[in-house]
Amino acid sequence: MVRPPYVDSNGLKKGAWSDDEDNKLRAYVQRYGHWNWRLLPKYAGLARCGKSCRLRWVNYLKPGVKRGNFSKEEEALVVKLHNQLGNKWSAIAANLPGRTDNEIKNFWHTRIERRRNGNPAHKKAKGHTAADKPSSKAQVLTQDKPSELTLSETLTLNESASSDSLINLQNSTLSVDTNSTSGSASESQVDCWADTFLGSTDYSQEGCFQPLPEEEFLIHSELSTSESSYPSALCWNADDDLSIMSPDFWGGSFVSNTSNSESETSYISTQEMGGFYDPFLEYIHHQLP
């Protein structure tokens, strides 16, 4: 997935690095350090520009650089930090040991943002097209359902944690119903919502998904805890994709209902939540008996 090597008009090699080049750069930097990136390639015997050497070292050869899939914790941290810092990849990377800004940037663009745009890979298989992208007024940060982490692992509400269990969120309280599809009274109520918004979306917006009636949006604003970094809202759409929404993404599409919250109730079925590992859920889990 790399440009093939070539030599530009200045005689500098570009494109993919060979093992020999990697070895030369690694050996030189480990022995002498990178005292001057511009001059380094000359002394290291590389026909590369200094920038290319630096990039290769920082993103690939530097000891401790972590490669491969992001863990759940890392992904949650990236989302959290991006909410706080925006596209400050280097600042975000500083909080993820072993991860480079470039890798985080790639991760964001290929996984997180793509989901936010409502166009994860699997949607193609479900018949979605580019036209399904949410409009800028209703951007959602959509999480797929990672198969390797189940709801029961996340919440451990009970051993079965059946896919039909319900988590009800009602006005300013959180109630968890572990009685499967019965819809009976909740077993516990956690007053963890500082302010609850129940979604009312203009689905005529291009790319908006019309939720099923029983899958109306659940939205809450900030948790009442001091952790302002929690995602500001959770919702899902008719395509079974759970989403995080931050106020930045609301864009006026959602209508606050806090002043008239007497009857509206939203819930997330645990079937939809399977594998969702957001810190928000961690918080819920923390609050449960």
Partner DNA sequence: AATGTTTTCAACCGCACAGGA
Partner DNA sequence: ATCCTGTGCGGTTGAAAACAT
Residues that bind DNA (CB under 7 A): 1-4, 8, 14-17, 34-39, 50-52, 54-56, 59-60, 67, 87-91, 101-103, 105-107, 109-111, 114, 119-122, 124-125, 130
CB closer to DNA, 133 vs 220: 133
Helix H, strand E, coil C: the string for 32-68 is HCCCCCCCHHHHHCCCCCHHHHHHHHHHHHCCCCCCC
Placement of tokens 């929404």 in the chain? 245
Instruction: Give the separation between CA 154 and CA 214, rounded to whole angstroms.
Output: 23
Nearer to DNA by C-beta: 88 or 285?
Answer: 88
CB of 122 to DNA, least distance (A): 6
Nearest to DNA of 26, 221 (CB atom): 26
Least distance to DNA from the beta carbon of 276, Å? 18
Minimum gap (Å) between residue 15 Cβ and DNA:
5
In angstroms, the CA 142 to CA 114 distance is: 8
What six digits make up the tokens of 141? 């940060």
Least distance in angstroms from the C-beta of 278 to DNA: 19
Q: Which is nearer to DNA, 102 or 163 (CB)?
A: 102
Residue 144, burial from CB neighbour count under 10 angstroms (0-12, 13-18, 19+): middle
DSSP character string of 71-128: PHHHHHHHHHHHHHHSS-HHHHHTTSTT--HHHHHHHIIIIIHHHHTT--HHHHHTT-
CB 286, min distance to DNA, A: 31
64: left (phi over 0), alpha (psi -120 to 50) or beta: left
CB of 1 to DNA, least distance (A): 4
d(CA 276, CA 242): 8
Sign of CA dihedral 60, 96, 72, 126: negative
157 strand-pairing partners? none
Q: Which is nearer to DNA, 104 or 176 (CB)?
A: 104
Q: Which two tokens stand for residue 151?
A: 């709801």
Residue 230's SS3 state is: coil
Kindly tell me which of 125 and 159 has the beta carbon lying closer to DNA: 125
CB of 112 to DNA, least distance (A): 10
Q: Select 104 or 155, whichever has its Cβ closest to DNA.
A: 104
